[in-house]
Amino acid sequence: MTTAASSFVRTLRRAPMFRDRTNTIATVAFVAGLLYWSFRFLNWAVVNAIWALPQDAGSNLCRVAQREGACWAAIHERFRFILLGSYPFDQQWRPTVACLLFISLYAVSTLRSFWRPWLLALWIGVPGAAVLLLRGGFLGLSGVPSEFWGGLPLTFVLSTVGFSAAFPLGVALALGRLSRLPAIRVLCVAYIEVIRGVPIVTFLFMAAVMFPLFMPQSFTVDKLLRAQIAFVMVIAAYLAEVIRAGLQAVPKGQYEAAASMGLTFWPTTILITLPQALRITIPGLVNTFISIFKDTSLVAVIGLFDLLGTAKAVLVDPKWIGFAVEVYFFVACVYFVFSFAVSQYSQYLERMLTARTLH
């Protein structure tokens, strides 16, 4: 018994955290602090928390206990609004299905066996289907104008449709930037540098506010569409640089082999260069997508309610003023789940792509 204990103590002392007196004291203090804070946090978040309020009751119960316990009742009562926005209550299966469609699209895209040309068609088809489902107005589905879309579906739509539409434009810009014709090259460089040099909010603002000023009175373009177009233009610029890096990383011998067989520019680019360039830049593309996914919260500036916007709207309600911690914690969890999944996938990708040759 004592020998087991002493050998345990011996191994413990070899660990860096217990190497000498200073380290030992620091470790003990840190662990103690961690335990104390975890205890306090769990007390607040779980033990003393109020999970639900009686029907039609005010939030007094929560306010009284505000210091001691989290008011998860706020989430319990308002999660549908936070996640789905002001979408008509009885039709909320539609945005839910739309979200599931998007999540399945992302999941399918992670599997290597699905990396075939028709996956690109899927990235056009699935967002299209989701948007149609949200909009309705056919086959007995009631029409729901985009002003009522909000929450998670809006975040998915803005980022996924933005990414899909910006992709061909980004490829064109990347190719244009590498073109030997000066006119094309200068135009592409100018476009990319201007957009990357200015905050994204500026473009959203221009799209939402300035664009209608220049249009005749009767001509109104849906606000969501304007925001979407602004996003597409911005994403294309960022994508162009990622893709350009990939194009320049394709070995020169590939171009030479294709040229020596008589393949001209476009067949070489589409069949040989782009497939290889895109495989090389997958980590960069995934990274760009995560950034865009979070940047969609900027649409709050122009009055669209994405996931973060709905959260803020809940906090303006007099009943829930002051419970920002609980609401933002919930939203942060949703963002975190998604971002963490994608970052894990990114690491898996890197392991896979360095372990064996690309094919």
Sign of the dihedral defined by the CA atoms of residues 198, 203, 209, 211, in that order: positive
Closest to other proteins by CB, 263 vs 342, is 263
Tell me the DSSP string of 104-163: HHHHHHH-GGG-SHHHHHHHHHHHHHHHHHHH--STTPPP--GGG--HHHHHHHHHHHHH
- Determine the Cα–Cα distance for residues 208 and 299; give it in Å rounded to an integer: 10
Closest to other proteins by CB, 14 vs 356, is 356
Closest to other proteins by CB, 169 vs 272, is 272
Find, among 209, 180, 179, 206, the residue nearest to 194 by Cα: 206
Provide the token pair at 100. Answer: 């599931």
Contacts to other proteins from residues 250-269, by CB under 8 A: 251, 253-254, 256-257, 259-264, 267
* C-beta separation of 305 from 313 below 8 A: yes
Closest to other proteins by CB, 55 vs 264, is 264
Q: Which stretch binds other proteins (CB under 8 A): 22-30, 98-106, 272-280, 294-302?
A: 272-280
Burial of 218 (C-beta count, 10 Å sphere; 0-12/13-18/19+)? exposed
- The reply to whether 113 sits near other proteins by the rule CB under 8 A is no
Closest to other proteins by CB, 1 vs 261, is 261
First CA to last CA across the chain, in angstroms?
Answer: 57
Closest to other proteins by CB, 256 vs 350, is 256
C-alpha distances in angstroms, 319 versus 82, 156, 250, 323, 331? 15, 29, 59, 9, 19
- Determine the Cα–Cα distance for residues 164 and 120; give it in Å rounded to an integer: 8
Minimal distance, residue 276 CB to other proteins, in Å:
6
Provide the token pair at 152. Answer: 């998670």
Minimal distance, residue 347 CB to other proteins, in Å:
23
Closest to other proteins by CB, 3 vs 264, is 264
- The reply to whether 353 sits near other proteins by the rule CB under 8 A is no
- The reply to whether 275 sits near other proteins by the rule CB under 8 A is yes
Q: Identify the residue among 120, 198, 215, 271 touching other proteins (CB under 8 A).
A: 271
Burial of 155 (C-beta count, 10 Å sphere; 0-12/13-18/19+)? buried
Minimal distance, residue 251 CB to other proteins, in Å:
8
Closest to other proteins by CB, 24 vs 254, is 254
Tell me the per-residue interface mask from 278 to 317 with other proteins, x by CB under 8 A, - otherwise.
-x--------------------------------------
- Determine the Cα–Cα distance for residues 11 and 232; give it in Å rounded to an integer: 57
- Determine the Cα–Cα distance for residues 207 and 202; give it in Å rounded to an integer: 9
Total of residues contacting other proteins (CB under 8 A): 21
Minimal distance, residue 266 CB to other proteins, in Å:
10
Helix (H, G, I), strand (E, B) or coil at 222: coil
Tell me the per-residue interface mask from 206 to 245 with other proteins, x by CB under 8 A, - otherwise.
----------------------------------------
> If you ran DSSP here, which 8-state letter would residue 43 be given?
I
- The reply to whether 14 sits near other proteins by the rule CB under 8 A is no
Q: Provide the binding-site residues for other proteins, judged by CB under 8 A.
A: 251, 253-254, 256-257, 259-264, 267, 271-272, 275-276, 279, 356-359
